[in-house]
Amino acid sequence: MYQDEELVFSCPQVVADRPTHYCPGCHHGVAHRLVGELLEEMGLVEKTIMVTAIGCSVFLYNYLLVDAVEAPHGRAPAVATGVKRAKPDKFVFTYQGDGDLASIGMAEIMHCANRGERVSVVFVNNTVYGMTGGQMAPTTLIGQKTTTCPGGRCAEREGMPIKMAEIIASLGGSAYVARTALNNVKNINKTKKCLRKAFEVQTSGLGFGFVEVLSACPTNWKMSAIKANERIANEMIPYFPLGVFKDATADVTGEAAGKGEEGK
Amino acid sequence: MSRIEIREDRCKGCLLCTTVCPKEIIKQADRFNQHGYKPAEVPAGDMKKCTGCASCATICPDVAITVYKTKKKAKKGASHG
Ligand SMILES: Cc1ncc(C[n+]2csc(CCOP(=O)(O)OP(=O)(O)O)c2C)c(N)n1
Ligand code: SF4
Ligand code: SF4
């Protein structure tokens, strides 16, 4: 480093210095970095117990250097409940995909949120089961082709894509619920702000925090990383509106009122 | 001069960084890295255009980019950061 310059961006230390197994352009890497930066900035690294899930991010414990428990598919919110209740002074978060959270793990996430457990949930919604080869998820968009709906998802046959953020916000126990995206620099920075809030409602003892992060899976969408980011703006955000759906820390005129009004 | 460093062995050639650079100085190299990806690079001579905005590093899924920004001349009484 030269004398007349300052370091303005580098990899957080809590993010392991090793290549990831993710595909080129996969947003899991961005989500990991944001979580890592926040754990460092909020002084939580030493007191974190992360509960990882099943999906492409199954090896998260190799990439974020914090204590971790690996939960069975979909069960991360139940495991996190146990961890937090046994060790209330720890910072506990789950990191789950949409196949994990909205399909096999639907019961666990609903009840965890409804009970208002003091945990935080990072929900990576990429509209497919990534790890197993791109099968349809509950979040797959109408018309989207996957290996298990090769003709495109059909509302009559498979129902409408599930909007998790709205559902979680409607439950009594949730304290902070937002939906963000990782498709451009502005939305990435906004995602970090929302994740910080979701973490803060836990550290301040307010309750359950949930951020749904619209993310790209270029491989199973069968498109380039650049096209995948465009798809988030053009197809995902119109159906899954960005915004803060619940914020127990804001007054009525505050940020919570901005629900669903975020642009692309 | 602000500048970026791209860790060639970490880059997967997704090209997302090339789309967000306001100066459009990031390009794909012709060579392959050890993983078989054609990495992003800034062609010789173009780095002086870098503003240190860190957009490329923010969007990089592989945290392959480090950003250095030219220090502003210290103003009297200005607080750090
Ligand atoms: C009990 C159980 N059922 C099924 C599987 C197979 N399986 C592994 S990952 C996965 C889907 C993961 O998709 P998602 O949560 O969307 O994460 P992504 O890979 O897209 O990040 C499934 C069904 C499993 N590991 N365990
Ligand atoms: S399959 Fe999809 S979710 Fe999995 S690493 Fe590749 S891009 Fe990411
Ligand atoms: S965003 Fe990162 S991984 Fe993708 S081409 Fe640029 S430096 Fe390489």
Identify the closest residue of chain B to A228 by CA–CA distance. Answer: B16
CB contact under 8 A, B19 and A226: yes
Per-residue burial over A164-173, b if 16 or more Cβ lie within 10 Å, else e, is bbbbbbebeb
Q: Report CA(A133)–ligand 2 centroid distance (Å).
A: 9
Q: Is residue B74 part of a domain?
A: no
Ligand 3 atom closest to residue B6's alpha carbon, by position in its atom list:
7
CB contact under 8 A, A218 and B14: yes
| Chain A closest-CA separation from residue B69 CA (Å) | 5
Say what the pLDDT of residue A260 is: 47
Domain ranges of chain A: 28-134+162-253
Which residues of B fall within a CB distance of 8 Å from A1? Answer: 68
The predicted-structure confidence for B50-72, as pLDDT tens digits, reads as follows: 999 999 999 999 999 999 999 88
Nearest to A72 by CA among A104, A36, A118, A37: A104
Q: Is residue B33 part of a domain?
A: yes
User: How many C-beta atoms lie closer than 10 Å to residue A241's C-beta?
Assistant: 16
Which residue of B58, B65, B67 to mutate against A (max A Cβ within 10 Å)? B58
Q: Which residues lie across from A122 on neighbouring strands?
A: A95, A211
pLDDT in tens, chain A (264 residues): 788 999 999 999 999 999 999 999 999 999 999 999 999 999 999 999 999 999 999 999 999 999 999 999 999 999 999 999 999 999 999 999 999 999 999 999 999 999 999 999 999 999 999 999 999 999 999 999 999 999 999 999 999 999 999 999 999 999 999 999 999 999 999 999 999 999 999 999 999 999 999 999 999 999 999 999 999 999 999 999 999 999 999 854 444 444 444 444
Nearest to A97 by CA among A130, A119, A68, A70: A130
Q: What is the mean pLDDT of residues B27-47?
A: 97
Say what the pLDDT of residue B76 is: 56
CATH number of the CATH domain containing B16: 3.30.70.20
Q: Report CA(A229)–ligand 2 centroid distance (Å).
A: 14
CB contact under 8 A, B16 and A10: no
The 3-state DSSP class for residue A9 equals strand
CB contact under 8 A, B14 and A225: yes
CB contact under 8 A, B58 and A22: no
Per-residue pLDDT for B21 more than 90?
Answer: yes
| Chain B closest-CA separation from residue A59 CA (Å) | 15
Q: Report CA(B25)–ligand 1 centroid distance (Å).
A: 39
CB contact under 8 A, B69 and A8: yes
The β-bridge relationship of strands B65-70 and A5-9 is antiparallel
Which residues of A fall within a CB distance of 8 Å from B52? Answer: 8
Rounded to whole angstroms, the Cα distance separating A66 from A59 reads: 13
pTM, rounded to two decimals: 0.94
Which residue of B6, B15, B16, B50 to mutate against A (max A Cβ within 10 Å)? B16
Q: Is the CB of A26 under 6 A from ligand 1?
A: no
Q: The domain containing residue B47 runs over which residues?
A: 3-68
Say what the pLDDT of residue A250 is: 84
Q: Is the CB of A128 under 6 A from ligand 2?
A: no
Contacts of residue A27, Cβ cutoff 8 Å, sequence gap at least 6: A124, A126, A182, A213, A215, A216, A217, B61
Say what the pLDDT of residue A1 is: 79
Q: What is the ipTM of this complex?
A: 0.93
* Closest in B12, B19, B68 to A6, CB measured: B68
Say what the pLDDT of residue A23 is: 98
Q: Which CATH class is domain A28-134+162-253?
A: alpha beta
Q: Is residue B7 part of a domain?
A: yes
Number of domains in chain B: 1
In terms of pLDDT, which residue wins out, B76 or B43?
A: B43
- State CA A160 to chain mean position distance: 20
Structure tokens at A260: 């669903």
User: How many C-beta atoms lie closer than 10 Å to residue B30's C-beta?
Assistant: 7
